[in-house]
Structure 1
């Protein structure tokens, strides 16, 4: 889990990066919660998702947004943080020119940034959004959403209320060629205190199924 420092749009950014032994391994970028509310790349759910992607054979990075930890710059209301995430993707793609896919995962504020990045980077093939703050941020920009993904909510979440997330999921599922895998954990609050393992299991199950479906489609096309 080597430490990396890479150039961001507003100074150097601090990350942790796992490089897969497979030369064409897919990539995953994991984004942490709100910088002004204690969010860092070492957040428990962020770390759990990072380890899940590592377990699945991905080359994966988590990093600190500007102004967090040893990352330079200061909080920019989400706009600069989207640029930070794009810079992290650029670095990963430079290191992995033969990667076979690209996933974006985010928790809370990181989920909002991740979905914004999804709309800007057509090469992203899958996404994970844990507790997206759908009642706080406007997710109307997902029109149309380029692909389906996994959305996770807790039914006892006081900050990212489940009804608002469900409404977003229902809206996305009306779009052509988009299917959202929606999973709600009973009793989970915003920090998923007793549900980190459940988040990891959901991610691994969803990604494994999507990757298997992709492989099957490629094999069918080759016949």
Structure 2
């Protein structure tokens, strides 16, 4: 997993990047939890997702938001972090100009940033939002939501009540052409244990693989 440094809006950003061997491979950008609460690109869930997307044949990037690790700058309340994510996507697209699809996966604060990125980059083909902080941030900006995706939440999340996320999912599913794959993990809180992390990445692979397979079948039918 080679280290990379790329230009961000407030200085250089530190990341880890895996380049897929297959030409035109799909691409995934991974976003970590809140910088002020210990979130880094080495978070257990983010690291496990990095390995799983790599195993699925993706080119994949995880990186530290501004002010985290060796990334320059300082925390900016989410606004600057959305710009950081856009710069990370720019880096991915520059290295993978012919990627067959672009995905973003975020955990907690990273899920919020990832959904914001969706609204700014219409070329995104899918998303994975894990423990989305629907009770802490207003997700009303998803109007309309630009694409389908997976929203995964712990039934016993002590920071973000599952009901708040369910309400968001129901609102998104009323939008024309949108079908959210909503999965609730029994017994899981906001911070996942190693065993629960394994379930998270399994569910992610199940969702992503099914979407990619449907796309391949549609192309074959054409």
Query: What TM-score do you get using the length of structure 1 for normalisation?
Result: 0.98
Alignment-derived partner of residue 22 in structure 2? 22
**How many angstroms apart in 1 are the aligned matches of 2:160 and 2:214?**
31
Determine the structure 1 residue equivalent to 2:165: 165
What CA deviation, in whole Å up to 9, does each residue of 1:119-144 have, x standing for no partner? 00011000000000001100000000
Q: Which residue of 2 aligns with 1:208?
A: 209
2:102 matched residue in structure 1: 102
Give 5+ residue unaligned stretches, structure 1. Answer: none
Residue aligning to 1:142: 142
Counterpart in the other structure of 1:71: 71
Partner Cα separation in structure 2 for residue 139 and residue 207 of structure 1: 23
CA positional deviation for 1:217 = 1.1
CA shift, 1:180, in A, is 0.5
Query: Residues of 1 paired with 2:5 and 2:160: CA distance?
Result: 31
The match for 2:33 is: 33
**Structure 2 Cα separation of the partners of residues 57 and 124 of structure 1:** 18
- Separation in 2, partners of 1:148, 1:110: 18
Match of 2:178, SS state, is coil
Secondary structure at the residue paired with 1:17? strand
Secondary structure of the residue aligned to 1:150 is: strand
* Structure 1 contact 29–103 (Cα < 8 Å) conserved: yes
Q: Secondary structure at the match of 2:7?
A: strand
Matches within 5 A, 1:45-64: 45-64=45-64
Q: Deviations over 1:184-222 (max 9, x none)?
A: 11110111114001001000000000000011111122x
| Residue in structure 2 matched with residue 195 of structure 1 by the alignment | 196
Q: TM-score, normalised by structure 2?
A: 0.98
CA distance in 2, matches of 1:130, 1:51: 16
Aligned residues: 221
SS in 1 for 2:170: helix
Equivalent residue of 2:20, what SS?
Answer: coil
Return the alpha-carbon distance in structure 2 between the equivalents of residues 9 and 111 of structure 1.
20
What is the alpha-carbon distance in structure 2 between the residues aligned to residue 134 and residue 4 of structure 1? 32
Could you say what the CA RMSD is over the residues aligned between the two structures, in angstroms?
0.6
Q: How many angstroms apart in 2 are the aligned matches of 1:81 and 1:161?
A: 24
